[in-house]
Structure 1
Amino acid sequence: MVDAQALDEVVTFTSELIRIDTTNRGGGDGNEREAAEYAVGKLFDAGIEGAIVEKAPLRSNVIARIEGSEPDAPALLVHGHLDVVPAEAADWSVHPFSGEITDDGNGGMLWGRGALDMKSMDAMVLATVRSWAREGVKPRRPIVIAFTADEEASAEYGAGYLAESHADAFAGCTEGVSESGGFTFHGGNDLRIYPIAAGERGTAWLKLSARGRAGHGSKANPDNAVSKLAAAIARIGAHEWPVRLTPTVRAALTELGALYGAEPDFAHVDDLIGKLGPAAQLVESTLRNSANPTVLHAGYKVNVIPEHANAEVDGRMLPGFEDEFAATMDELCGPDVHWEFQHRTSGLGAPVDTPTFAAMREAIRKFDPDGHPVPFCMSGGTDAKQFSELGITGYGFSPLGLPPEFGYGRLAHGVDERVPVEGLRFGLRVLDDFLRHA
């Protein structure tokens, strides 16, 4: 088990990393250099050599390797991103880059952008390996650590670059763990559920464009680009996508159904979802493909009909149903609206009957014997997609102990992002135990 120093360090490191503004605004606008140097320094203090590699100046990634007690065992990749999404300070109760700790009567609350997504996990990794160095501990498997840039955009400067240009650093890695799993989800009836990600939907960020005849706003114009685009957007927004169950979602529904005393009737999934109480939100966004219109661009003056109109759509594709997604978009856009992928990644699925998944379950149960770890599929995506190009099977496991009514899904990327100090220490204990024995 990690020592007392690590339990303090994980809090300090999370706070200090939050104070380093690594906002990623997309389009190449980001700077992870200071955070990467911070991580390298903490690794160096533990006798671990970390290398900083960059595709472009200031878009920094860190790679390090720790040998295992069984050097011939398959290596495990542990990765976390250093960048965060933007935050408007005026909207927050505390400054989003303060890393402030407030007294909540239960050990304290640590505030700031990245507290959940995902500087707390980065801090847990650093605190864990430094504890090992002090104790002379080796994990069973060799471990490759990667702290990445640009996860909150396209991963072009981060995991995508690492997988393409530094693949040799990940030689021998068969599995990886990262964000969005292993946190406490309170499912009602005193159920503490710990969803572990064993899949994620693919990303399909789309650009739609329509072309028509420009003209005066007072004249009849049946060839109006804005009207064409608006009609397509309305169809996309109203479309009801069919249920498509992947193996990961089936496993999630089976285990959640057992917890709520509901038979996993896959022929009537919507009825089953209605029996899962609060836990329905763990699966309801991964039953189907989806497409949400998010951006509209058209016109420049109220009395001028523009020639062009454009829109952006956030699409998500279940693994194995990418072709169905594309065919549906063709149908919904129709002949008057062109669509194309701006950014595309495939969905992922990972087996839940492996020794690694069992080790994650066991680590959670060790520190919460009444907890219920279950598999689930993430509705969004992570750097696991890029590392999958190297044949690495990815899981979401960044454990945290969270109180009831905390709102993990609402706070990640949201206003007043924060993490309980004791929940962070719980996560450190769980992660340490898993990484030692996986």
Structure 2
Amino acid sequence: MTDAPADPADEVVDLCRDLIRIDTSNYGDEDGPGERKAAEHVATLLDEVGIESRLYESEPGRTSVVAQWGGTPGGSRDGGLLLHGHLDVVPARAEDWQVDPFSGEVRDGYLWGRGAVDMKDFDAMLLAVVRARQRSGRVPDRPITLCFTADEEAGGHKGAQVLVEQHADELEGCTEAVGEVGGFSATVRGRRIYLVEAAEKGMAWLRLTARGRAGHGSMVNRDNAVSTLAAAVARIGAHEWPVRLTPAMRTLLAAVGDLAGEEATPENAEALVEEFGGAARMLGAVIRNTCNPTMLDAGYKVNVIPSEATAHVDGRFLPGHEDEFFATLATLVGDGIEIEAVSHQQPWETPYDGRLADAMTRSLLAEDPDAIVAPYLMSGGTDAKHFRKLGMASFGFAPLRLPADLDFTALFHGVDERVPVDALEFGARVFDRFLDEV
């Protein structure tokens, strides 16, 4: 055991800074440094306080960490709890940033760097709380599985998916899971609302392929693959998907409606979402299915009409609305274009009630009594999609009390990613309280 502080808020910033300084950029291919160095660092931090961990490497350098912690005979009626975060980050171009994205610099009350928001902040909170509690003997009665994964930013296929499919014994007995992208605050009409992730959209990363007749660019060609594909992509990009309110978003918008003095309905949902300011770019995407064209590829010479053109689209569908999504997409694409799944993952939704939800709400309100806590549906995807295959109820809970003028959702995968130092400390205190009740 070390003599480091037993208050998790005392070391959470240093832990996050050190993790940011380890470049774990995930390019979605064979490039990049991998997560091995960060995984070894996490294993060392756990070992320092007497927690044994194991490293699982799906490919050279693509490394996840798992450890078992806590638990007493008869100590929990709810089964085990999985606490999970990922070690990889999306790439960053240093020339675009005000600071070196892997410097972990503290400036103007913020910790800057790639991963400060997504999601080395939560990794650091989790490590700080576990280390502090282990030192002081405050180990939860409930058995806890700690998991720090590889490859989440590319779908988790080399990280969480491998653990679920090849090392499920490490996750045996876990009935609930808590991970990233929830518990952060937004300010609406002067009130802080903490958004706890209780649902995720499904993912449909798709490749569209149009085929036609190759020929000379100077001649008439009514079987042009580029033209056919471009028209389909334009229809997809211009489509207005209808509003659909899922249980989590009905609850969240009802809370906003109370502040605005009106009942939340599908008809005013978009106006209520706009109350969130910058966060509306994310929340506006979770009251409907979405499909955004992201990549185009065709041809090899300006005067040659190619026989094939491809596009990639990023489709996300709401829980309960997958069939509607694919039926609409097929109509938009039209005939003669092949649709192939690059990654197809299911949506999920967990009712925001029960012991775990109550613990999250109480731990936040203990630190911020005048706030509102509500569930929401997240537009992106996390490793929860894989862990839920083992039957776990899932939430996203990485608590952060944020300034009203911070456009927080723009920092996910964005330039100048940063997190307030006091928000990290707040999160460590809240998560420590949360573990008292799980």
Does structure 2 conserve the Cα–Cα contact (< 8 Å) formed by 1:181 and 1:396? yes
Q: Which residue of 1 aligns with 2:307?
A: 307
Residue 288 (structure 1) aligned with residue 263 (structure 2): no
The code of the aligned residue for 1:81 comes to H
Q: Do the aligned partners of 2:278 and 2:408 also contact (CA within 8 Å) in 1?
A: no
1:258 aligns with 2:258: yes
Contact 1:140 1:436 in 2 (8 A): no
Distance 1:308 1:125, change over 3 A: same
Residue pair 2:187, 2:193 contacting (<8 A) in 1 also: yes
* Residue equivalent to 1:32: 35
Is the aligned partner of 1:76 residue 2:81? yes
Hey, what does 2:65 align to over in structure 1?
62
Cα distance in 1 for residues equivalent to 2:128 and 2:274: 41
Counterpart of 2:15 (choices 13, 16, 24) is 13
> 1:38-437 maps to which residues of 2 (within 5 A)?
38-69=41-72, 70-73=74-77, 74-102=79-107, 104=108, 108-187=109-188, 189-266=189-266, 269-270=269-270, 272-273=272-273, 280-281=280-281, 283-437=283-437
1:155–1:29: structure 2 CA closer, same or farther, 3 Å change rule? farther
Q: Amino acid of the residue matched to residue 87 of structure 2?
A: L
Contact 1:53 1:62 in 2 (8 A): yes
CA distance in 1, matches of 2:282, 2:236: 24
Deviation (angstroms), 1:267: 5.4
Stretches of 4+ aligned residues off by more than 6 angstroms: 275-279
1:367 and 1:268, CA in 2 relative to 1: closer, same or farther beyond 3 A?
closer
Give yes or no for contact 1:252–1:283 (8 Å, CA) kept in 2.
Answer: no
Looking at structure 1, the residues matched to 258 and 176 of structure 2 have their Cα atoms a distance apart, in angstroms, of: 28
Alpha carbons of structure 1 residues 387 and 139: separation in structure 2 relative to 1, 3 Å: same
Contact 1:214 / 1:307 at 8 angstroms: preserved in 2? Answer: yes
**Identical columns (%):** 52
1:138 to partner: Cα distance: 1.6
Find the aligned partners of 1:249 and 1:352 in 2 and give their Cα distance: 11
> What are structure 2's unaligned runs of at least 5 residues?
none
TM-score scaled by length of structure 1: 0.95
Deviations 1:82-141 (A, max 9, x none): 000000001111100001112x2xxx2211000010111111111111111221112142
**Distance in 2 separating the partners of 1:419 and 1:191:** 20
Distance in 2, Cα, partners of 1:90 & 1:278: 25
In structure 2, do the counterparts of structure 1 residues 86 and 271 end up closer, same or farther at CA, with 3 Å as the change threshold?
Answer: closer
SS of the aligned residue for 2:370 comes to: coil
2 CA distance for matches of 1:277 and 1:154?
29
Name the CA distance, whole Å, in 2 between partners of 1:182 and 1:271.
Answer: 23
State TM-score, norm by structure 2: 0.95
Secondary structure in 1 matching 2:115: coil
Change (3 A) 1:268 1:17: closer
1:19-48: CA deviations, max 9, x gaps? 100000002434100000000000001110
The residue identity in structure 1 corresponding to 2:46 is: L
Letter of the 2:301 counterpart: K
C-alpha deviations, 1:295-326, integer Å up to 9, x for none? 00011111111111000000001111111111
Aligned residues: 432
Amino acid across the alignment from 1:390: L
Query: SS of the counterpart of 2:85?
Result: strand
The one-letter amino acid of 1:71's match is G
Once the two structures are overlaid, the 10-residue window that deviates more, 325-334 or 41-50, is: 325-334
Deviation at 1:167, TM superposition (A): 0.9
Displacement of 1:275 in angstroms is 6.5
CA distance in 2, matches of 1:71, 1:275: 43
Deviations 1:221-274 (A, max 9, x none): 000000000010011011111222222222222222223222123455445546
Secondary structure of the residue that 1:263 maps to in structure 2?
coil
- Secondary structure of the residue aligned to 2:210 is strand
Which amino acid in structure 2 is aligned with residue 334 of structure 1? G
Q: Secondary structure at the match of 1:60?
A: strand
Please give the secondary structure, in 2, of the residue aligned with 1:198: strand
Pick closer, same or farther for the CA change 1:247–1:279 going to 2, 3 Å: same
- Name the SS for the 1:389 alignment partner: helix
